[in-house]
Chains A and B, each alone.
Chain A
Amino acid sequence: MAIKYKKLSKGRGDFLRGTYELHMGDDHFLTVSLTGYIEKYKRLSFDNIQGIIIVRTIRGRVMSFILAGIMILGFLPAFSASNLGEALLMSIMGFAFLIFLVINLILGPTSRMYVKTSVQSEHIASVTHLRKAIKVANKMSPLILAAQSKIESAPIPEEQATL
C-alpha cells in the first residue's frame, strides 16, 4: 500500500547542487534528495528522533554582500551614459541583482537544520533559512512528542544536570 506523505519543505540546498525535499509520513519523516537522475531517500522514524538542531549560518549575509557588490558594478556603466534611456539600458544588470538582493533580504537569515538520532545527525538540506527552519521544527515537534509519549526516561546524569 502506498504511504501518504505531506511535504514540509523543498529547497536547492546550500550550494544549489540538487533538489532536496522533506516529507512527513504516518510514523516517519522522509528526506528526498535528487542529484542528477537518482533520487535518494532517507527515513527518520518519529520514535528515534532525539532532537532537532537549528544552526544559524552567515551564508545569507555573505550572499547579500556579494549581490550588493555585483549590483554596484552593474550600475557603474550607467554613469557614463549620455541620456536617461541609455542609462537605464546600461543598468539592467544592476537592477537584476537588486531584485536578487531584495529576495535574499526578504528570505532572512540562513541556517542549517539537523535531525539527531542516537546514531546519526542528519542534515536537512531542504531547509536553508532560519524562519523556515523554525516553522518546520514546530510542525515536526508535536508528532515526535506524540510518538515518544510512552518512552521511559533515564535519570539525567549528575554531571549534565549541574552544568
Chain B
Amino acid sequence: MNKILPNEITCPKCGNPIIEAYHNTHRLESCIYCGQKNMVFAFPALHKSTNQTATSNPIDEGDAACFFHPQKKAVIPCETCGRFLCGLCDINFNGKHVCAACLESAKSKKKDVSLETTRTRYDNILISLAILPAFFVFPTVITGPLTLILGIYWWKRPRGLINKGTFSYFLALFLATLQCLVWLSILAAHFYKLNGHKI
C-alpha cells in the first residue's frame, strides 16, 4: 500500500505526489510519473500548518495540574467527569471537551451513536433465516419458529444506523408466522387422521 504523506496528494497507482498545477482543474490529468489519469479536488486542510497541533505548557506554582500529566498545566475540565486536562489530553468531540477515558467509556457503553463503528443487521439475519430454508421446505420446521423467537428476542436491539430495515424485519416475521401456521395445520391434519377421522 502507498505511504500516506500528510501534506501531499499522491497518485493512488504509483504513490508519487500529484503536482499542484493538476489540483482543482476539474478534468482528468495524467500523472507525470505513471500516466494514470486522475482528477484531484484539493482543500485548504492540505496546506494546514503543522504547528497548529495541540500543545501543553509545564505547570507553574499555584496552577491546576492535568489529571493525566501532573507536570502539565490544566487548560480545561472534562465536560463529562470534570477531570482537569492539559492541551494534549483535551479531545474536542462533537463540540464537547472530553478526556480519552470518558470517550472510551462512551464508546464501550454505546452511549453516543456517533462513536459506533459497527452494527449487526438483525433484519438481514431474520430474512435469510425465513427465506433460504424455504427452498428446501423441511428445514422450515425448525427455522420458522426460530425466526419468530429471534425476531421477538431482538425486537429492542438497535437496527442499522441509516437503514433501519423495518420492512424486511416485519416481512421475515410474517413469513415465519406463515411457515409455523402451515406446519401446525399439517400436524393438526395428521392427528385428526390418526384419530380415525376422514379429511
Contacts and interface: CB of A to CB of B under 8 A. Distances in A.
Contacts of B113: 2-3
A56 B28 contact: yes
Contact of B48 (A42, A55, A119, A151): A151
B20 A163 contact: yes
Sort chain A's interface into a size bin: 35 or more
Sort chain B's interface into a size bin: 35 or more
B125 interface: yes
Interface string B4-27: 101111101100011111010000
Given A30-B162, A51-B23, A55-B37, A38 B48 contact: no
Contacts of A7: 162
Contacts of A55: 12-13, 36-38
Contact of B43 (A23, A37, A49): A49
Interface of A: 2-3, 5, 7, 21, 23, 30, 32, 34, 37-43, 47-56, 112, 114, 116-121, 134, 137, 140-141, 144-145, 148-149, 151-154, 156, 160-161, 163
21 contacts: A2-B113, A32-B162, A34-B121, A38-B119, A38-B121, A39-B121, A41-B117, A49-B43, A49-B45, A51-B41, A52-B40, A53-B12, A54-B39, A121-B12, A134-B39, A140-B41, A141-B41, A154-B49, A154-B50, A156-B47, A160-B20
